[in-house]
A and B are shown apart, each in its own frame.
Chain A
Amino acid sequence: GENVEQHPSTLSVQEGDSAVIKCTYSDSASNYFPWYKQELGKGPQLIIDIRSNVGEKKDQRIAVTLNKTAKHFSLHITETQPEDSAVYFCAASRGYQLIWGAGTKLIIKP
């Protein structure tokens, strides 16, 4: 069935450096790719999303890129800050549902 693979499972970066998280999807019909940030004990928060007719989208320090041919998309966070520490999930649409990646724990080292 459809699945979304996410890497790495854990990412540790120095404060101020960039972080990149990658996802691949299998369903060529997927056309919506959101990224969520989840802090401990809280619900996921949508931080950025991209649709299949766009290759890149940016919002301040956060950007997402999409390669439809290769079926992968990535989250880029620049100038990381301590408050960026959280678990990040990617997802791909399947109809009106979302197929989720396994999550990446991002650790920002001071």
Chain B
Amino acid sequence: GAVVSQHPSWVICKSGTSVKIECRSLDFQATTMFWYRQFPKQSLMLMATSNEGSKATYEQGVEKDKFLINHASLTLSTLTVTSAHPEDSSFYICSAGLAGGVEQYFGPGTRLTVT
């Protein structure tokens, strides 16, 4: 149980374009979803927290107009990197949590490369 998928697993895009990453909870309803960014050999950095049906809460220093998060249903959240630049290249990971719980279940991650 508690399986989270992400799509795509890797993506290459050109500078200036936008790319959307999907995060799905496959066998449970996720009231809350989290988006993380991870640089090589570093820990996870929380970007934002999204709750179904409401606006995402972004961490300090994360541009909300650049990283658009939509949590339209209890099983799907999307992260759109707008006007991507090479410095946005990173490993993006989502996690999902059950209602009332603090446990987080992670997706497999998405490797974004911006050329």
Q: Interface of A with B (CB < 8 Å)? A: 32, 34, 36, 41-46, 49, 89, 93, 96-98, 100-103
Q: Is B49 an interface residue (CB 8 A)?
A: yes
B84 in contact (CB, < 8 A): no
A103, B106: Cα distance in complex, Å: 16
Tell whether A42 pairs with B103 under 8 Å between CB atoms, given A96-B32, A103-B43. Answer: no
Instruction: With A41-B109, A44-B93, A96-B97 as known contacts, state yes or no: A89 contacts B43, CB within 8 Å.
Output: yes
With A41-B109, A43-B109, A102-B43 already in contact, the answer to whether A97 and B34 are too (CB < 8 A) is yes
10 pairs, CB–CB < 8 Å, chain A vs chain B: A41-B91, A41-B111, A43-B95, A43-B107, A43-B109, A46-B106, A97-B34, A98-B46, A101-B43, A102-B43
Range of interface residues on chain B?
Answer: 20 to 34
- Is the CB–CB distance between A36 and B106 below 8 Å? yes
Known contacts A41-B111, A42-B108, A43-B108; A93/B102 CB under 8 A: yes
A49, B104: Cα distance in complex, Å: 11
Give the complex CA separation of A59 and B43 in angstroms.
25
